[in-house]
Structure 1
Amino acid sequence: MNPTHRSITEQFPYWQRAAVPAPIHSAQAHILLGCGTSYYLAQSVAAALNVAGVPALAVPGGEWLARPGAYLPAGTPAHILAFSRSGESTETVQAAHRSRADGHHVTAVTCEAGSSLAQAADEVLYAETHPEEGIVMTSSASLMLLTGLRLAGLAFHEEDVLASQALMTQAQRAYPALIEGRTHVVFLGAGELYGVAQEGALKLQEMSLTYTQAYHPLEYRHGPISLVDDRTVVVLLSHPDTAADEARLVPELRSKGARVLGFGAPGDVSVELPGDARRRAVMVLPALQMLGECVAQARGLDTTAPRWLTKVVTLA
């Protein structure tokens, strides 16, 4: 078991110790910033905040730094939530500095309490992560997502942590047969699950150099489905509000040659995914991380040294 594998399987005690911030109730605009994984987590948290009645928009850190007026009218006060595991991602740190200079209140969500981002923020939500986590974000991603969704009112308890661990173990047993001979993996998720679908696609791409895509489930039929064949796996993250519509997509995908992994949905492999969409977003994430590790192992790749990647992305 390599350090990446351990950081996935041993992350759950950190969830149980994670801080529980008070939910946000402010009606002002909330802009959620991040890069890479952190941006995808921000997308899921922004969707959950909007569902809770709190106006929110996820924006890549570099976009907010370069052109904030494209996402929020100039002069509009906002609460900035900046997500960064290391707290050193150049665009996010610079965007936090600019936001404070523009009069916005900045909250950092990070796994490094003394980081540049933490120092640039008005307040810090800190999440202790697994000490062996390397370049690929695993435990830290789950913890930042959990923290963000708690700001949207998610109540996540010990039994949910244990259920997520069991879900990961169940899915892991099914992965070898599911991925055999497959080179193209599509992740589908709606609402609060869309950002998690994108994160699942990114994880698999980083860890195993697999060609991946991520879409909203019904949007996938409008063009991208043309790539489905007998080399495709579709990972469907079912949203409880639209589960019936999403389930009707499964026979069409299978008829075109795809194998379907349904989390809360039917498929060649079907794994129960209980709860509302916020709870599902957290619960499924370790299983998606484990998929990346399993595919990488099958291809003989070392996930502690993914190609071209570094733990912290900084710009000179």
Structure 2
Amino acid sequence: MCGIVGAIAERNVTGILVEGLKRLEYRGYDSSGIAVLDSGAIHRVRRVGRVAAMEEAALAENTNGQLGIGHTRWATHGGVTEPNAHPHVSGELIAVVHNGIIENHDHKRDELKGQGYAFTSQTDTEVIAHLVHRHYVQDQDLFAAVQRAVKELEGAYAIAVIARDNPDLLVVARMGCPLLIGVGEGENFVASDVSAVLSSTRRVMYLEEGDVARITRESVQVFDGTGAAVERKLHLSDVSLASLELGPYSHFMQKEIHEQPRALSDTIEQILAQGFGASLFDGDASILQGVKSVQIIACGTSFYAGSVARYWVESLTGLPCAVEIASEYRYREAVASPDNLIVTISQSGETLDTMEALKYAKSLGQNRTLSICNVRESALPRFSAAVFYTKAGAEIGVASTKAFTTQLVALFALTVTLAKLNGRLTPEAEAGYLDALRHLPGSVQHALNLEPQIKAWSDRFAAKDHALFLGRGVHYPIAMEGALKLKEITYIHAEAYPAGELKHGPLALVDENMPVVVIAPNDALLEKVKSNMQEVRARGGEIFVFADLDSHFHDSEGVHVIRTPRHVGILSPIVHAVPVQLLAYHTALSRGTDVDKPRNLAKSVTVE
């Protein structure tokens, strides 16, 4: 969960590195640093805090060089201190930046100490710097030194390495963490994410597992884990720089919440054009034929999207559906079936736990694998038999919003496709679902128009330390997502429960200091939800209700109601996700927290 950028050019790369790190700051913002080759020496600038502090220091020191690497950190090994910030150096000869976790770093640290190496940080990364140094001093071949060093590493890594005595060479390697090469004219770049290189080039090459690459100003050579030269496909990125700018918005989270009607329209467009069916999926969609069960694997917000889909899958297809957190699935004895469809969900396509869970599922002989992802050519789609690409566009805010709602559209498309392939979808039902999708962006826009009313609630929540979210049926996962959003960016402790579970324990927490948010659509469970609300009011709890326009709720003492659009049927969870996003956003503003970069969190989770 860190960001890497590197550049080799005929111009000063300091500005390129700093700009790239600003683009990658969503991946980590505990500290940042750069190292450039300047006048035959490695010039390193590091600072705790945001990239802006490091940029100011680099400008003050007049940092200048044509070869350099940079890093923005989310702390794993060692605290948030300047000595722990990247880049790490060895003998003033080697500089390294690293994303990932080296699992055998303790053993290697002891070994290197025994050979006379001194450590100045608590990080696992410093081990890499010393390993490369140890091999480099033997024959002065940086590329070979990196190749030999990575063979000693256990764990996940993306690294970029420079040497004081090699002003014309940048070496990179990856295993388990994303890394790409940006190809320019007489200059080349490396980064964790395409956003970091877009200002210089749109041509990118994605490295595969085990790859090590030697990069000069004029060439890129890639070698796989066996040492054999390989060709990696060159892609023209379709990500626009405009999508990475705030525009008229105050925060990326606010921007991305308001981009949802467009993101949904773009994702739905392909479904409306083709109808439901295998043609919606890239890759080998034949895996959808003969599916007997569905296993959804994801983390965080994506897990909640999968939890909504479980209700859809079982009700529309008649197939059993299980949803599991990736970090749990990958470490248990799973019951495998060749007829089980493994569905993995990740906005970035690089979530390490989800990727490892997919590898585990495939190792059990489950090769019906489908990923839902927002980033083309990322690791998860490449390792899956089929993929549905959402069209949310770049998502920068740590708290996922438009990625979540577009994932729900993708899961709905998968559900209806499976129902169609299993002979459980009539033409009339298919037409009805397509019509519901067609009207969905308008309903979401209606929900966005409620922002002033939701903002008025935020001051009440900002003064609280705890909150409870309730939902029933397919809306229970939306309550979980609402609680997650609130705790992520406001630091208010929030939990979600199925409303019917209140009397089995959580009701003991309810008092006048515990606001209770209720998702109350006008569906078959509405009367049950109303009964659960009475249980809360009887204990003095204050209730905040998101109800459909036709639910016949009214404000009363201790009960506050905001009416979302009229009930939109099976797609209602997507519409109800929007108000809880807005509630979290405005409560965070009221509390003065950092909305886009909440403490202790980062966007792309590429470590365990």
What is the TM-score with the length of structure 2 in the denominator? Answer: 0.49
Decide which of 369, 375, 399 is 1:112's aligned counterpart: 375
Query: Does 1:124 find its partner at 2:387?
Result: yes
Letter in 2 for 1:12: P
- Are residues 293 and 58 of structure 1, via their aligned partners in 2, closer, same or farther at CA, if it must alter by over 3 Å? same
- Are residues 206 and 172 of structure 1, via their aligned partners in 2, closer, same or farther at CA, if it must alter by over 3 Å? farther
- Are residues 186 and 25 of structure 1, via their aligned partners in 2, closer, same or farther at CA, if it must alter by over 3 Å? farther
Decide which of 195, 209, 223 is 2:491's aligned counterpart: 209
Partner of 1:195: 477
Partner of 2:265: 16
Query: Does 1:55 find its partner at 2:320?
Result: yes
Letter in 2 for 1:63: E
Contact 2:458 2:590 (8 Å CA) reproduced: no
Deviations along 1:168-202, one digit per CA (max 9) or x if unpaired, are 32254244246514332211122221222111111
* Partner SS state of residue 599, structure 2: coil
CA deviation after TM superposition for structure 1 residue 48, in Å: 1.2
- Are residues 169 and 231 of structure 1, via their aligned partners in 2, closer, same or farther at CA, if it must alter by over 3 Å? farther
Contact 1:48 1:152 (8 Å CA) reproduced: yes
Contact 1:187 1:234 (8 Å CA) reproduced: yes
Partner of 1:162: 442
Partner of 2:242: none
Query: Does 1:94 find its partner at 2:356?
Result: yes
CA deviation after TM superposition for structure 1 residue 132, in Å: 5.0
- Are residues 299 and 178 of structure 1, via their aligned partners in 2, closer, same or farther at CA, if it must alter by over 3 Å? closer
Contact 1:11 1:130 (8 Å CA) reproduced: no
Letter in 2 for 1:203: K
Contact 2:446 2:565 (8 Å CA) reproduced: no
Would you say how many aligned residue pairs link Structure 1 and Structure 2? 313
Deviations along 1:139-174, one digit per CA (max 9) or x if unpaired, are 111111121123223543343211222123225424
Deviations along 1:42-101, one digit per CA (max 9) or x if unpaired, are 1111121111123211011122211152xxx34463100100011111111011122223
Partner of 1:254: 537
Deviations along 1:285-312, one digit per CA (max 9) or x if unpaired, are 1211111101100101121111100111
Contact 1:110 1:124 (8 Å CA) reproduced: yes
Larger helix fraction of residues: 1
Letter in 1 for 2:540: G
Partner of 1:42: 306
- Are residues 68 and 81 of structure 1, via their aligned partners in 2, closer, same or farther at CA, if it must alter by over 3 Å? farther
Query: Distance between the aligned counterparts of 2:454 and 2:585, measured in 1?
Result: 13
Query: Does 1:236 find its partner at 2:236?
Result: no
CA deviation after TM superposition for structure 1 residue 233, in Å: 2.0
Query: Distance between the aligned counterparts of 1:177 and 1:64, measured in 2?
Result: 38
Query: Does 1:103 find its partner at 2:365?
Result: yes
What is the TM-score with the length of structure 1 in the denominator? Answer: 0.91
Contact 1:228 1:258 (8 Å CA) reproduced: yes
Query: Distance between the aligned counterparts of 1:257 and 1:175, measured in 2?
Result: 24
Query: Does 1:290 find its partner at 2:582?
Result: yes
State the 4+ residue runs in structure 1 displaced beyond 4 angstroms. 23-27
Contact 1:192 1:277 (8 Å CA) reproduced: no
Unmatched runs of 5 consecutive residues or more in structure 1: none
Partner of 2:229: none
Unmatched runs of 5 consecutive residues or more in structure 2: 1-249, 278-287, 417-432, 554-558
- Are residues 254 and 130 of structure 1, via their aligned partners in 2, closer, same or farther at CA, if it must alter by over 3 Å? farther
Query: Distance between the aligned counterparts of 2:482 and 2:516, measured in 1?
Result: 12
Which segment is superposed worse, 137-146 or 153-162?
A: 153-162
Query: Does 1:136 find its partner at 2:428?
Result: no
CA deviation after TM superposition for structure 1 residue 25, in Å: 8.2
Query: Distance between the aligned counterparts of 2:374 and 2:361, measured in 1?
Result: 21
CA deviation after TM superposition for structure 1 residue 247, in Å: 0.8
Query: Distance between the aligned counterparts of 2:490 and 2:338, measured in 1?
Result: 42
Contact 2:336 2:364 (8 Å CA) reproduced: no
Query: Distance between the aligned counterparts of 1:38 and 1:101, measured in 2?
Result: 23
Which segment is superposed worse, 174-183 or 132-141?
A: 174-183
CA deviation after TM superposition for structure 1 residue 17, in Å: 1.0
- Are residues 236 and 259 of structure 1, via their aligned partners in 2, closer, same or farther at CA, if it must alter by over 3 Å? same
Computing the radius of gyration from Cα coordinates, the structure with the larger value is 2
Query: Does 1:271 find its partner at 2:563?
Result: yes
Query: Distance between the aligned counterparts of 1:238 and 1:56, measured in 2?
Result: 25
Query: Distance between the aligned counterparts of 1:75 and 1:11, measured in 2?
Result: 37
Query: Distance between the aligned counterparts of 1:178 and 1:17, measured in 2?
Result: 31
- Are residues 37 and 99 of structure 1, via their aligned partners in 2, closer, same or farther at CA, if it must alter by over 3 Å? same
Query: Distance between the aligned counterparts of 1:75 and 1:16, measured in 2?
Result: 36
Partner of 1:28: 292
Contact 1:84 1:111 (8 Å CA) reproduced: yes
CA deviation after TM superposition for structure 1 residue 232, in Å: 2.0
Which segment is superposed worse, 116-125 or 149-158?
A: 149-158
Partner of 1:219: 501
Decide which of 331, 345, 360 is 1:66's aligned counterpart: 331
Give runs of aligned pairs for residues 277-316 of structure 1, distance below 5 A: 278-315=570-607
Letter in 2 for 1:79: L
CA deviation after TM superposition for structure 1 residue 129, in Å: 1.8
Contact 2:291 2:339 (8 Å CA) reproduced: no
Contact 2:304 2:481 (8 Å CA) reproduced: yes
* Partner SS state of residue 248, structure 1: helix
- Are residues 251 and 191 of structure 1, via their aligned partners in 2, closer, same or farther at CA, if it must alter by over 3 Å? closer
Contact 1:232 1:257 (8 Å CA) reproduced: no
Query: Distance between the aligned counterparts of 1:197 and 1:63, measured in 2?
Result: 22
Which segment is superposed worse, 3-12 or 16-25?
A: 16-25
CA deviation after TM superposition for structure 1 residue 259, in Å: 2.5
Letter in 1 for 2:345: F
